[in-house]
Amino acid sequence: MEDLIKKRIKQVLKGDQSAFEEIVSLYQNRLYQVCYRMLGNSHEAEDITQEAFIRAYINLHTFDQKRKFSTWLYRIATNLCIDRIRKKKPDAFLDAPVPGTEGLDHYSSIAHDSPLPEEEVERMELQDRVQYEIGRLPDKYRSAIVLRYIEELPLQEISEILELPLGTVKTRIHRGREALRKQMKTL
């Protein structure tokens, strides 16, 4: 798999744009999923996933081909998500759900800043609830938790993606689990 990717990367670097399509189709679900779990909004997730791939394409010559491509790609995407979360923070409350996108989006776009009434939380479907609880996690823990439990990546790889020491990643995951435990006492 990594060999195939490296072959495609070389083709793209030689100017064959179409070789990038295979890279996109191999990673789009994983990248979109991370963005969706981080941002909790399908429109933003789509936006950021697209942006991440475009940046990867433009900066492909800076990718060190001795390293794992997915780590590099995840890094671009998580950085973009973190930026986006920071930027929208002050008016997160005003971030009204887009018409026609019900369910998940609704819960998560109002997520962390305004906890829902307990009865409403209890009536949620499991999948809505998962997204709601992830969205309530503090940003710092959320990225580590998403990479660990949604993407199921090893701690070492998460440390490379987030460019944080392994110890810091562990601490964030520990705290994320503790935060979740407290959030879920009602479950």
Partner 1 sequence: MKPCPEDIVRYMHDYLDGEITRRDEQILKEHLEKCPECQQHMDGLSRSVAFLKSAAPIEAPEGLASGIMASLPKERQGAGVRRWFGRHPMLAAVAMFVLLAGAALLSNFNTEDQFAVSRQPNLVVEGNKVTVPEGETVKGDLVVKNGELHIEGEVEGNVMVINGSKYMASTAIVTGQVEEINQAFEWLWYKIKAAVKDSISFFEGDGGDGEE
Residues of this chain that interact with partner 1 (CB under 8 A) are 12-15, 17, 20-21, 24-25, 28-29, 31-33, 36-37, 42, 46, 49-50, 53-54, 57-58, 126-127, 130-131, 133-134, 145, 149-150, 155, 170, 173-174, 177-178, 180-181, 184-185, 187
Q: At its nearest, how many Å lie between partner 1 and the CB of residue 147?
A: 11
CB of 183 to partner 1, least distance (A): 8
Which residue number, 10 or 67, has a Cβ lying nearer to partner 1? 10
Considering beta carbons, is residue 33 or 71 the nearer one to partner 1? Answer: 33
DSSP string, the chain: -HHHHHHHHHHHHTT-TTHHHHHHHHHHHHHHHHHHHHH--HHHHHHHHHHHHHHHHHTGGGS-TTS-HHHHHHHHHHHHHHHHHHHHGGGGGG-PPPTT--THHHHHHTTTTSPPPHHHHHHS-HHHHHHHHHHHS-HHHHHHHIIIIIS---HHHHHHHHT--HHHHHHHHHHHHHHHHHHGGG-
- The minimum distance between CB 74 and partner 1, in angstroms, equals 15
By beta-carbon proximity to partner 1, the closer residue of 58 and 94 is: 58
Measured from the CB of residue 66, what is the shortest distance to partner 1 in angstroms? 19
Q: Which is nearer to partner 1, 28 or 168 (CB)?
A: 28
